[in-house]
A and B are shown apart, each in its own frame.
Chain A
């Protein structure tokens, strides 16, 4: 139907159609709206050390979850590339890795805000606390993950041939990811930690989180992961269009 008919009146269904909103994108919007509003308003346990900063759980921890989910999708795409040799999978792998890295940086940012209220020594300037905070096993694990993907992008940019780049970076992606998992498992068991979730990996344990917080936390994880995937799909579409334009130009 022509758009003129609806001028002035807001037709939600048509709007959804025009934005190509599929079910999971709508889920992302709903869940994130819930995570932001519910996350700031719903009751939380009162802990004297954390206070209201406990609500950062819905944002800080979710960033790491979403990051790992995106990196895992990136690996799956790399494996697919090595099996099929379609350049499309390489574009997907690098886009998911890029968005994952960005989420990791946001995870650091939210973590830094949280740490400045809970861990940092109030008598010391923030910079002086940095050295002691950075020695945290979880921070080291996260730093390794981000360094790996930094190296991944440098490796990509130093190879000019397109197929060669796709193949070599897929191999590094898989190799690095396979080495990352033992390190995330090993390092927390070697060093002492202040970070919650000492035995094993934080927030995966069902008993770590209060029941009221779980009500917001799990939907928030799904919402942030979907948002990350959404951003990545936009990047992928953009890159594929660029490739097509480039090939058309060549002919």
Chain B
């Protein structure tokens, strides 16, 4: 019960910080807007496959930028304070959930801008929305853990990308493949469900690993 209280308090703190320091959130949104605008200027009316892969690559870079700050903004002193009031498992769970929520919101912004600038080649928009939310959740989870690792080293932001790219390849391939269901590509029966199941189980694996491994990073 106490852990639950701590969890909600930490999550509330993240939202409070976001409303107090609005420049970080607007910074990420501006990043999305300018990325999409540059893509829009360099390629006019991409076909469905190109649209799909560009969307996911944009989403990947947004994720790195949005999630990186979650550990970068925690100063050493504040980490010491958390250390004295809560447990590492509660702390990493609150970070994971906040970043997942943030990524879901950013996914919607990104999708909105993509549709506005480059049209919407999807056959079933709802399906693509669902896949997008699922994928953003996975990206958010992986990069939260990597941000925690990179925050202990120098040159954190670039290190995060180096650490993360090899790990995210399988998930990205799965997502690009799965997204094609929304572009009227015909799959064998049960294959999309299998891919969704695979993605969900990967997410569970990541949460599991984070809970086991974060306590070791926590100590300074």
Contacts and interface: CB of A to CB of B under 8 A. Distances in A.
Interface of A: 82, 140, 143-145, 147-148, 150-151, 154-155, 158-159, 164, 167-168, 170-172, 174-176, 178-180, 182-183, 186-187, 190-191
B216 A82 contact: yes
B152 A176 contact: no
Give the size range of B's interface with the partner: 20 to 34
Interface in B129-145: 142, 145
Contacts of B177: 190
A144 B155 contact: no
Nearest to A183: B170
A163 to B, nearest CB: 9
Given A155-B150, A155-B163, A158-B153, 17 more contacts: A140-B169, A143-B166, A144-B170, A151-B162, A155-B159, A158-B154, A159-B152, A164-B152, A164-B220, A171-B149, A171-B216, A176-B166, A178-B205, A178-B209, A182-B205, A187-B170, A190-B173
Question: Which of B153, B173, B206, B213 is packed against the most chain A CB atoms within 10 Å?
Answer: B153
Contacts of A164: 152, 220
Given A147-B166, A172-B149, A154 B216 contact: no
Given A158-B154, A175-B149, A144 B213 contact: no
A171 B166 contact: no
B167 interface: yes
26 contacts: A140-B169, A144-B169, A144-B170, A148-B166, A150-B162, A151-B162, A151-B166, A158-B153, A158-B155, A159-B153, A164-B220, A168-B149, A168-B152, A168-B153, A171-B217, A174-B209, A175-B145, A175-B209, A176-B163, A179-B142, A179-B205, A180-B167, A182-B202, A182-B205, A186-B170, A186-B198
B10 to A, nearest CB: 21
B174 A186 contact: yes
